Structure 1
């Protein structure tokens, strides 16, 4: 038993000695980091070189222009049998329209050009064909935005019509005939230049305050120029003589040009009331600085209901007050079913 105990103690002491010797040797084998100054040439050799990866050119360009176009045809038709007791007259009307808007926006500058063309005719039984719509409107505006909602603007507008406009009468037999010529292309034509402030809270509404506005009225067609009593009798010998020299669009006989300086207010609204219902309105006030108490007013309204992608119903109305044309308010109203193509869709 004593011998076995001696063997066990000897083995234990041997293991402890071996472990202490191994730890001492491992401690000596550890490499201590020493501060060294790295040579600059070594850094250059080991530095990762930058590789430029070629990027192909995509050819992309920023397009600052946006375009919208609409064109279509509206039609109305009614017919009655010979024994229709409720009354009525056979009729047919057609109207073509074209509208284009171009918008250029870059930084604070904005240019908008809007062209609106309409022409239509109506033919009733036993009557001459008459135009029921005739308009040329071209508006161009350049503006510089100095805040989120306000901008300085300069605009040039042209307005006229395509075709001759007549006054009609009936003879003793009840037949309709042309009594006299009233208007034509550039008879009159209006050019308006306006400078001022524009308020535009969103994309659907804008209000222009044209503190510096000039409008030129031109009549280049001799058939519609204002006439003296003698000139009228010579041109229309069968008509009733006039009692005073004519005054048209603020022009006296022998005049074909007039320039007015005025204050102008122009409001534009183009808003979708629902997914398939759009309201477009334009109001213009033109107050001559010579007589601010008697301004010219014009309101154009168009309500369009889309039935399908190309078929729509349009209700339109125009209110005009211009004392140079009439002392009473003039109005025009129409309801039509037609086809309208819009680009882009």
Structure 2
């Protein structure tokens, strides 16, 4: 009996499986159906695509690298005042004219550099019933060549020349009349300085030259600027020696000195359209005591008002015992027109 039930269960399971298999494999006739297959985006053809090489001629740029950078500025300042004869506020008719030329050329290639700067200044003022007087007078020409040793250090050699254009006078009034006394001329004095050493330049706007080997020649070519001692009655005393002028003894044309020199330069736009330029020079002679150290400081602040006009304030401080035992100073405030090339 048990065998009968087992046989019956097996027969039922087999029939069910056969029925399911037949359903899964039922064929479907797709002849009448509108079935469209998507076209493959890939190319259906195979083969090699021929490429023909095209020759492209190289383009040659006809350009040269300019390692020079130059800048020239020319300035003219004019100051004029006129008063009528019955002007109760007081004053004197005057006319002042001054000119400035500043030329700077820089060359830089690899580790080599060269800088040349020329400064020419001259100005005069004429007041009514008075002698003409100078307001500015300077010739300065500096050359420096350098080789870069490290990031901020250079080995340099330099030479510069300094003098003046016109004669210089001191003025005093004698019996109500203005009298001028000659005290300087072109190349009286004149200075020629050669130096070599090391330069520290951490930025483009600041540098310090340390001239371990420096020589300066001071020239006095015109003997008329020497003052002979006078007697109590005002007549020349030929029995006393003529004192030196600018460190050069009477009867000689120049004096040579060996020294240690430091030159510091600063030039930067500190405010918008405002340029600050300064140069400090210290000259320490080897053959004299430390009290004979020479100092000179030049400072100029220039503010640009528009394309052509600017206002400038400049000052000079000088201490040189060969000229005077006290500190000398000059200051100039000017409003004028400046032309800069290239623009």
Distance in 2 between residues matched to 1:50 and 1:250, nearest whole Å? 82
Q: 2:103 — aligned with what?
A: 100
Residue-by-residue CA offset, 1:16-69 (whole Å, 9 max, x unaligned): xxxxxxxxxxxxxxxxxxxxxxxxxxxxxxx98976532243221111000011
- Flag structure 1 segments of 5+ consecutive residues without an equivalent: 1-11, 16-46
Distance 1:118 1:78, change over 3 A: same
Query: What is the Cα-based RMSD across aligned positions, in Å?
Result: 2.6
Q: Does 1:272 align with 2:275?
A: no
- Flag structure 2 segments of 5+ consecutive residues without an equivalent: 1-25, 30-49
Q: Does 1:146 align with 2:154?
A: no
Alignment of 1:1-345 (within 5 A): 53-172=56-175, 174-179=176-181, 181-224=182-225, 226=226, 228-229=228-229, 241=236, 244-290=241-287, 291-345=289-343
Contact 1:318 1:331 in 2 (8 A): yes
Matched residue count: 295
Distance in 2 between residues matched to 1:122 and 1:240, nearest whole Å? 33
Distance 1:182 1:145, change over 3 A: same
What is the CA-CA distance between 1:341 and the residue it aligns to?
A: 0.9
Residue-by-residue CA offset, 1:191-234 (whole Å, 9 max, x unaligned): 1011111111111111111111000112223433x3655xx89x
Query: Which shifted more, 310-319 or 85-94?
Result: 85-94
Q: 2:44 — aligned with what?
A: none
* Bigger Rg, which one: 2
Distance in 2 between residues matched to 1:164 and 1:316, nearest whole Å? 22
Q: Going by fraction, where is helix more abundant, 1 or 2?
A: 1
Distance in 2 between residues matched to 1:188 and 1:143, nearest whole Å? 29
Contact 1:260 1:288 in 2 (8 A): yes
Distance 1:272 1:240, change over 3 A: farther
Contact 2:220 2:248 in 1 (8 A): no
Distance 1:239 1:142, change over 3 A: farther
Q: 1:32 — aligned with what?
A: none
Contact 2:312 2:335 in 1 (8 A): yes
